[in-house]
Amino acid sequence: MRIGNEKNKRFFANSLFPSFFYAALALVLGQVGAAQMQGSWGLRILTGA
């Protein structure tokens, strides 16, 4: 028996993409902010270096 159809798969994929996109954007902005503030290694590790 098949669980879910093509419409459900598309909805899941479309709703998942923005989450990954904004998470990646937040990591990049965190790295830029940490570099500009000449942050400690702990801050850079926290932002995903």
Q: Which of 10, 7, 5, 49 lies closest to 30, judged by CA?
A: 49
Q: What is the pLDDT of residue 1?
A: 44
Question: Where do the domains of the chain lie?
Answer: 23-49
Q: What is the pLDDT of residue 15?
A: 78
Q: Is the pTM of this model over 0.95?
A: no
Sign of CA dihedral 17, 19, 21, 24: negative
pLDDT in tens, 1-49: 455 677 777 777 777 888 889 999 988 888 887 778 776 667 666 666 5
Amino acid at residue number 16: L
Q: What is the pLDDT of residue 3?
A: 58
Residue 46 structure tokens: 């926290």
Q: What is the pLDDT of residue 4?
A: 62
